[in-house]
Structure 1
Amino acid sequence: MSELLSQDEIDALFDALTTGEIDVKEIQEEEKKQAVKEYNFARPAKFSREHLRTLEIMCENYARLVSNYLSGYLRIGIPVQVISAEAMTFSEFNNSLSNPVVLAILDVKPLTGPMLLELSPNLCFAFMERILGGAGRGMEKIREFTAIESTILDKIVQKMVSLLREPWENVIEMRPRLNKIETNSQFINLIAPNEMVALVTFNIAFGGIEGLMNLCIPHIVIEPVMDKINTRFRFQSGNDSDEIRVDKNVEALLKRTNIPLRAVLGTTTMTVREFLQLEVDDVIMLDREINSYIDFYVGNVLKFKVSPGVYKNKSAVQIKEILRKEDD
């Protein structure tokens, strides 16, 4: 509700109109003028705040996956955190790169065009020193990578690139793949200089070393799925598929679980004296007839009745009966 004027304020307003201090026509003309919004054609606003916020949330998931991978691979805790997500032109990003640079060029099928993943060279040298048995202190002076170092780095980056699949699964079934690693930023001309990109910056802490990792996402690459890059769509999709995804993950883990299997020919009992007197060629009589099936255990659970035999010159059993319980 608008604020009510007092009688003194009303009288002052009429006096101003009478003396000409306030021009009614001028007020009306100003109200008719349309508000003009500035637009920078050199930096078109293709990424809204909602887009950047959603990309930041997706990359927080990616940071967790990268942290788990690096911590397990290098046998040391390596926290990875998202620092910022901002929009800029590709030329601004490219001009901020130093040489040598570790810049992975990614294919993100079915999307058309590349994404870029940039790693701090000092961090890369620290990772390789750790892998090769050192403490992982990095390099005081950055140099070019040797052939062996490039091979090791390629393996690490390939795994980090593959981890992009999960954070994007609610937007698109992405198939990320490492195309190549470029070490000279001057040769990177895959994207137009004035093309807008979203730059997500991560901080990686490795022992006493900290470095940055940047994920460069060109607008032209993700333009076909921009309508899905918002928090509302992401959380709705996530809620619908969370239960199915958990079931599939549990099923996949169970299928990879190793289970001990054992076939028991039979059992018997004897005294300690009899056990100590056993010698080669002695015969131990079991509690099972020769024509009866033997017990087959899965873990500690009796699941099958089987008959022994030979298959491809190896001992084997053939399932003759499946034992089912009410809770199976």
Structure 2
Amino acid sequence: MADVLSQNEIDALLQALSTGEVDVHEIEEENKEKKIKKYDFRRPDKFAKDQLRTLQVIHENFSRLLNTYLSGYLRSLVQIDVFTVEQLTYYEFSNSISNPAVLGIVDFSPLPGQIIIDITPDIAYTLIDRILGGNGKPIEEARSFTEIEITLLKKLIKQMIRLLKEPWENVLDIDPKLEKIETNSQFAQIISPNETIALITLNIKIGEVEGMINVCIPHLVIESILPQLSTKFWFTNVKKEISEEDQQIVKNRLEKSYIPIRAVIGSTHITVSDFIDLQIGDVIQLDTLVNSDVKIYVNQQLKYYGKPGIKKKKVAVKISSIERKGDE
């Protein structure tokens, strides 16, 4: 910001102008001189702001699709948002990759070249843990991935790549395919280190574990379609309707989901002193009658009434009626 003149400096300047010590024409000529703007030839800007905004819109749609898929596949709360969209050199991106890493090398057909999907290790370990039936807790110490874990991640990344087709369809019909997975960034040199890339960073949270998914798109790969990466192309097509196949997939996954069900015989309240004095053989009187129905809850919602009994030498409950309240 330019310096602010004091009142004494303003008075001195006016006096110099009036006496002729300072020539107004000389000041105008100095202002007309060309201003020099710094430009780093080692890192030229190859993506316009509008093109970066279009990439952000595309990957915001991708993040929503991925969020829906992972929530059902992992049966866990998943949150995915676009964190940043920026242009860097491939050298800067490669240096920021942790070790070990999960780098999916993707053929971005019909465009020439490859892109990279980078999943941070903490998210990768959590994905594997959830797939194998764990609770998805973060690991304490990073380690290399086993062949079985790489195979599980490869299957998951293949499905993630399929989800890229729909967000890109307003620009180009793509057919991406996973070529391989690398765990070391030194073996993932898909372009020259000085080439410009667009780096889209997705912030992902699975339960209590938070991490990143990076999508690295080299400028050389999408150079031929850069004129189409404009926001006006994004709104040319109407919203895609959900196909019957998509509906069936969602239905099948919902039907295979497990939900907790509990049958409550009755309840009561006792004092703390009575609770402390409880002994084997003591009888606790509940608030239900002998012939009353058992209340059956799905999660925390009362859904059914039933009669207790025995089936195949195990305690069971037979549904006698349905609670319709709350179904509207």
TM-score relative to the length of structure 2: 0.68
Q: Secondary structure at the match of 1:130?
A: helix
Map residues 160-171 of structure 1 onto 2, 5 A cutoff: 160-171=160-171
Map residues 193-204 of structure 1 onto 2, 5 A cutoff: 193-204=193-204
Which residue of structure 2 aligns with residue 43 of structure 1?
43
Deviations 1:170-216 (Å, cap 9, x if unpaired)? 11111111111100112222111111111111111111111111111
Instruction: Give the share of equivalent positions with the same residue, in percent.
Output: 47
Which residue of structure 2 aligns with residue 55 of structure 1?
55
The change in CA–CA distance for 1:14 and 1:145 in structure 2 (over 3 A counts) is closer
Which residue of structure 1 aligns with residue 69 of structure 2?
69
CA distance in 1, matches of 2:216, 2:250: 38
The change in CA–CA distance for 1:103 and 1:28 in structure 2 (over 3 A counts) is same
Map residues 157-236 of structure 1 onto 2, 5 A cutoff: 157-235=157-235
Alignment gaps of 5+ in structure 2? 1-11, 252-328
Map residues 1-328 of structure 1 onto 2, 5 A cutoff: 16-235=16-235, 237-238=236-237, 241-242=238-239, 245-246=240-241, 249-250=242-243
The change in CA–CA distance for 1:176 and 1:39 in structure 2 (over 3 A counts) is same
CA distance in 2, matches of 1:132, 1:32: 70
Alignment check: 8 A CA contact 2:77 2:206 kept: yes
What one-letter code is carried by the residue in structure 2 that aligns with 1:139?
I
Shift of 1:118: 0.3
Alignment check: 8 A CA contact 2:105 2:188 kept: no
CA distance in 2, matches of 1:207, 1:213: 16
Q: Secondary structure at the match of 1:54?
A: helix
Q: Secondary structure at the match of 1:50?
A: helix
CA distance in 2, matches of 1:130, 1:52: 34
The change in CA–CA distance for 1:256 and 1:37 in structure 2 (over 3 A counts) is closer
Q: Computing the radius of gyration over CA atoms, which structure comes out larger, 1 or 2?
A: 1
CA distance in 1, matches of 2:61, 2:91: 28
Q: Secondary structure at the match of 1:104?
A: strand
Alignment check: 8 A CA contact 1:228 1:234 kept: no
The change in CA–CA distance for 1:118 and 1:14 in structure 2 (over 3 A counts) is closer
CA distance in 1, matches of 2:157, 2:123: 12
Shift of 1:17: 4.0
The change in CA–CA distance for 1:256 and 1:205 in structure 2 (over 3 A counts) is closer
CA distance in 2, matches of 1:56, 1:257: 27
The change in CA–CA distance for 1:36 and 1:18 in structure 2 (over 3 A counts) is same
Deviations 1:74-106 (Å, cap 9, x if unpaired)? 111211111111111110000001111001111
RMSD: 2.5
What one-letter code is carried by the residue in structure 2 that aligns with 1:185?
S
Shift of 1:256: 9.4
CA distance in 2, matches of 1:179, 1:13: 71
Worse-matched range after superposition: 205-214 or 134-143? 134-143
What one-letter code is carried by the residue in structure 2 that aligns with 1:130?
R
What one-letter code is carried by the residue in structure 2 that aligns with 1:193?
P
Shift of 1:14: 8.5
What one-letter code is carried by the residue in structure 1 that aligns with 2:48?
S
What one-letter code is carried by the residue in structure 2 that aligns with 1:162?
R
CA distance in 1, matches of 2:142, 2:14: 76
The change in CA–CA distance for 1:38 and 1:109 in structure 2 (over 3 A counts) is same
Shift of 1:168: 0.8
Aligned length: 241
TM-score relative to the length of structure 1: 0.68
